[in-house]
Structures are given as C-alpha cells and as structure tokens.
C-alpha cells in the first residue's frame, strides 16, 4: 500500500466515523473546543499527527458526572430487554462501520489491520452476548425455614461505572465493560488511553447516534480525556461505585488501593507474563503457529502475549529450528498493508523499553538466536518499528520475571512436566497460559488444581486470542478481575436478598422467641 493510498483511506475513515480536523471535547465526543490542554495523537505507523483532544478539566468532569447521573435515573428504569435492544442497535452500527473503525484502531495504535478488524468484531460479539444477557439477569429462589415465607435474590444496577482502558486494545476492552454495564442498567464514563484518544471519540460518536435515534439521554455513555490525573478524578469519586481499570500492575496497585479506601468496587485487568509449555507429545506445526502469533501479534503488546516458551529438552532444538524458520518469514511494516504481519510499537518510549530489555537479557546471561533492533529507512520513519527477537534464558532471570510490552520471546528448557508447570507458575503474574500436547494425562495435569495458576489455561491453542463467551481475567498480580462472558455481568450489579412473609404470623429466624 502506497503512502498516498494510506492518506486517502485515513481521510475517508475520519469522515465515516464523524471525526473532523478540529479539537474534540469531553462528555459526549462532540467536536467542540474544551477548556483543558490539548493532547495530540500521533500515529506510530508514519509519525503523522492524527488529531487532538482536549483534556478534561475538573469543572468539565463535574458536568460529565451530572450528565451520567441524570441519565442513570432514566436508564435504570428501562426494562433490561429494552436496554438490550439499544445495545443490539449499537452492534449493528459497528457492523456497518467495522472497516473504518478497524482502520482507525490500526492507524492510531499500530496493530495490523486484520487485528484492528478483529478488535471491532470483539465489540460486535460482546454486543450480541449482552443482548441475550438482557433477558437472563437471573437471581435465585431459596426455601425459607419459616412457614409462609419466600426468599429470593435479585440484582440491581450499581449506577455510574468508570472505565479506564489501555492503548493496546483501544476499543474492545471498553465494549466488554460498557455493553454488559448498559444491559445491567448502569451508565458509563470512559477514560481511554491518552495514547489512542481518537478511538474513544469514534466509538462515542457511533453510540451517541443510537441514543439520539431512540430519544435517550446522552449521559448513558460519556468520555473523559487525559492522563492519570483525569483517572484520579474517577478513582477517588464516591459517585462512581465501580472502577474497571486495564493497564500495568503498577497502575492497578494505585487504583485498587484508592478505590478500596472509599469502599468502592474495582475490576482490575493488569499485567501478564504468559507461557506455553511444549511437551514431547506436542503437534509442532500447531505449536509454531500459536507461539509466533502469541509472541509477535500486536507487536507483543497484548496482555496475553506469549513471553515464555517452556520446551522439553528432547524437542528443544527442533522447536527452535521451526521458530527460526517462521521468524525469517515475518514481514514488518505499515499495518494497513495486509501483506505485513507486524506493525510498530505504540511510541518511542515503548521502543526504549524494548531496547533496555534486550540489554538486560544479555547482562543477565541470556543469548539471542534472533537478534532485535530498531528498523530504519523508508517506511520506518516514525522510529517505532522493531525486530521481533528470540532469546535463550533461564526462568529466574529478573528480566524474564518482568512483563515487557514488546516482541521478545524467551526460550526455556525443562526436563519433566512438574518442573515445567512450576516454571509456568513461577512468576508474579497469572493471566494466560497454555500447553501443547496430544497426551490427555499431560493436558489434565496442566488443567488440574495443581496445574496452571492462571485465570486462563488453554490446551493446544496459544495464550493470545480469547473469545468473549468465557470470563477474561487473571490471578495474582493480574488483579483477579473478570470481564466479558460467563457470569462477569454480576460485577456491574449489586446483589440483594429478599424475604417475603405472606403468613399471618411473624416467626423469627433460628426459632428465636421474642414474646411480649
């Protein structure tokens, strides 16, 4: 794809998503001039300025909260299936705008266009899931010990939900939260990453049109812009009962402690240090595909990216040779060109982190079988394109114990499966894990209570690429949160136990006598 063709496509994309060449305001994503400082969004693809948004000021934040609270009083009283109908319409809008929104994700964040389309498809999928869920917000009935009594539980919406998302999935993670929160009766305030703010503006434009078409208040969905200071406005705000935050473990420690101090709820999706165990019984073709996509997809900037490949010593050299062959075929370049596998890192700060990690590997005794480095020359002018690399290391290296958001894959040798599982679990993060084996006993051992300690454990697929039907999240320093499918909807609601006495007496529980 030529530079000229890319520029034309980007302009068309902006028009389709309602993004003009002016500043973008705060609450609803409308194109207005706010009072805060400007945030400039530069594409890592070509280094070009995409657009600017205004940082939300404290006064503007108060307006956003008031808008969301006012909308909540209307939204919570709307029957859940009717709320689901609004989400259904939003999903249909996403279907119509899948290509331009996927292109914006690719251009602003740097992931491949195919991955950008996949991210929008996740949004569509969670909308479908939420529509069905809107008719299944179930409670339980229980038998009372007292005659003439009935007990049951029900769920009510929480109120205003605050969503803090990261740059690597600039639209999907927001939709995981918002689609479920909406059908549960909550309104949402979204602070997107300051590294990809225009994606939030585009999503807000799309949903706002659905609200307008249905004569519903705009405060059902709001956005705020800015850095951690804007996030602090939400995390310290008692009017926001739930904060869902995706990002680094360092960020999660701050958010979790702050929200807990005011007895709020937090849903944390934090770091990952994910491993694939490769046993002698593995299908090596499947292993190579899963490992390579897991390691280089989104240029290694997924929380589920494969960081460690723990390989049995008997097949270690065979797996290494296949990886060397696969890495030799990878194409790095403009992610809007579908011939390329890998786009850039998000910015030059990420490049510096990548380079420091490479030096740390060498200093700690590792060696590279595929060398890394920054790409230069035509097509790489942004300075954000790097080479995916592979290093032979030991699991206990400090750099291996840390999460590095970059395409660096660590190879580690093991002798028996117990040792491999101990290595897999021997990090502070606990998000995603996988084993490659055709042996049922090995697979079941990996999935048992003494196996993987991660929130996600896969057999014969990689660590990256979760479906929305299952709850997504992890343990340990990953934060313990669960988003997306299964019964993750319960975090967006408050549980209430009800007891109804339809008798003519008032017997007390536990047979207590209280006569007078």
The per-residue pLDDT for 143 is 96
Q: Which residue in 183, 139, 135 sits closest to 158, CA to CA?
A: 183
**Whole-number average pLDDT of the chain:** 94
pLDDT, tens only, 149-161: 999 999 999 999 9
- Mind listing the pLDDT tens digit of every residue in the chain (516 residues)? 334 345 546 678 878 898 865 444 444 444 444 688 999 999 999 999 999 999 999 999 999 999 999 999 999 999 999 999 999 999 999 999 999 999 999 999 999 999 999 999 999 999 999 999 999 999 999 999 999 999 999 999 999 999 999 999 999 999 999 999 999 999 999 999 999 999 999 999 999 999 999 999 999 999 999 999 999 999 999 999 999 999 999 999 999 999 999 999 999 999 999 999 999 999 999 999 999 999 999 999 999 999 999 999 999 999 999 999 999 999 999 999 999 999 999 999 999 999 999 999 999 999 999 999 999 999 999 999 999 999 999 999 999 999 999 999 999 999 999 999 999 999 999 999 999 999 999 999 999 999 999 999 999 999 998 899 999 999 999 999 999 999 999 999 999 999 999 999 999 999 999 988
Of 115, 119, 122, 269, the active-site residue reads 269
Q: What is the DSSP string of 431-497?
A: SEEEEE-S-HHHHHHHHSTTS--SSEEEESS-SS---TTSEE--EETT-S--EESTTGGGGGEEEEE
The whole-angstrom separation of Cα 182 and Cα 222 is 12
Which distant-in-sequence residues (6+ apart) come within 8 Å of 102 by Cβ? 113, 116, 117, 118, 119, 120
Query: Percentage of residues in the chain with pLDDT exceeding 90?
Result: 91
Helix (H, G, I), strand (E, B) or coil at 268: strand
The whole-angstrom separation of Cα 500 and Cα 498 is 7
Query: Around 251, how many Cα atoms within 13 Å sit in the side-chain half-sphere?
Result: 21
pLDDT, tens only, 435-485: 999 999 999 999 999 999 999 999 999 999 889 999 999 999 999 999 999
Provide Rg for the chain, Cα atoms: 25
CB neighbour class for 70 (10 Å; exposed up to 12, middle 13-18, buried from 19) = middle
Which distant-in-sequence residues (6+ apart) come within 8 Å of 6 by Cβ? 45, 46, 334, 336
CB neighbour class for 291 (10 Å; exposed up to 12, middle 13-18, buried from 19) = buried
CB neighbour class for 504 (10 Å; exposed up to 12, middle 13-18, buried from 19) = exposed
Joined together, the tokens standing for residue 469 give 């039907």
Read off the pTM.
0.95
pLDDT, tens only, 37-53: 999 999 999 999 999 99
Q: Is 35 assigned a catalytic role?
A: no
Q: Is 269 assigned a catalytic role?
A: yes
Helix axis angle for 228-235 and 58-75, nearest 10°, is 50
CB neighbour class for 398 (10 Å; exposed up to 12, middle 13-18, buried from 19) = exposed
Q: Mark out the alpha helices in 110-196 (DSSP H runs).
A: 113-133, 172-184
Of 188, 199, 203, 303, the active-site residue reads 303
Which distant-in-sequence residues (6+ apart) come within 8 Å of 494 by Cβ? 155, 156, 157, 158
Joined together, the tokens standing for residue 384 give 């954000």
């Amino acid at each position: 794809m030529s530079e000229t063709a890319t520029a034309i496509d980007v302009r068309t994309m902006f028009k389709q998503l309602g993004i003009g060449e002016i500043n973008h305001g705060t609450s609803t994503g409308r194109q207005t001039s706010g009072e805060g400082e400007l945030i400039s969004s530069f594409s890592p693809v070509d280094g070009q300025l995409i657009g600017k948004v205004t940082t939300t000021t404290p006064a503007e934040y108060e307006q956003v909260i008031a808008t969301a609270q006012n909308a909540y009083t209307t939204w919570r009283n709307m029957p859940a299936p009717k709320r689901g109908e609004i989400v259904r319409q939003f999903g249909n809008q996403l279907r119509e705008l899948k290509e331009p929104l996927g292109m914006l994700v690719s251009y602003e964040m740097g992931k491949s266009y195919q991955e950008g389309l996949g991210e929008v498809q996740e949004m569509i999928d969670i909308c479908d899931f939420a529509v069905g869920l809107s008719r299944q917000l179930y409670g339980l009935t229980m038998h009372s010990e007292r005659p003439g009594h009935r007990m049951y539980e029900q769920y009510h919406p929480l109120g205003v939900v605050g969503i803090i998302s990261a740059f690597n999935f600039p639209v999907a993670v927001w939709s995981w939260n918002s689609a479920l929160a909406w059908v549960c009766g909550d309104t949402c305030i979204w602070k997107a990453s300051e590294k990809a703010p225009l994606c939030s503006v585009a999503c807000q434009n799309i949903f706002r049109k659905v609200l307008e078409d249905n004569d519903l208040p705009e405060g059902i969905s709001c956005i705020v812009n800015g850095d951690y200071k804007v996030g602090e406005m939400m995390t310290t705000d008692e009017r926001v009962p739930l904060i869902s935050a995706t990002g680094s473990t360092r960020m999660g420690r701050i958010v979790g402690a702050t929200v807990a101090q005011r007895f709020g709820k937090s849903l944390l999706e934090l770091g990952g240090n994910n491993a694939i165990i490769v046993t002698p019984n593995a299908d090596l073709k499947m292993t190579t595909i899963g490992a390579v996509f897991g390691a280089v997809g989104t240029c290694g900037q997924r929380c589920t990216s494969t960081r460690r490949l723990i390989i049995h010593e008997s097949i270690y050299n065979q797996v290494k040779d296949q990886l060397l062959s696969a890495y030799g075929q990878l194409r790095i370049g403009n992610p809007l060109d579908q011939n390329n596998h890998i786009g850039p890192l998000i910015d030059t700060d990420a490049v510096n982190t990548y380079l420091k990690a490479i030096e740390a590997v060498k200093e700690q005794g590792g060696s590279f079988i595929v060398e890394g480095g920054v790409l230069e020359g035509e097509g790489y002018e942004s300075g954000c394109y790097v080479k995916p690399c592979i290093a032979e290391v030991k699991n206990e290296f400090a750099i291996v114990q840390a999460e590095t958001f970059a395409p660096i894959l660590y190879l580690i040798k093991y002798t028996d499966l117990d040792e491999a599982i101990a290595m897999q679990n021997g990090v502070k993060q606990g998000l995603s894990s996988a084993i490659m084996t055709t042996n049922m006993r090995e697979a079941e051992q990996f999935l048992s209570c003494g196996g993987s300690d991660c929130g996600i454990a896969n057999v014969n697929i990689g660590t990256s690429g979760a479906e929305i039907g299952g709850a997504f999240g992890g343990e340990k320093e990953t934060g313990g949160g669960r988003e997306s499918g299964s019964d993750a909807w319960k975090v967006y609601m408050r549980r209430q136990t009800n007891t109804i006495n339809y008798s003519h007496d008032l017997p007390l529980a536990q047979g207590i006598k209280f006569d007078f």
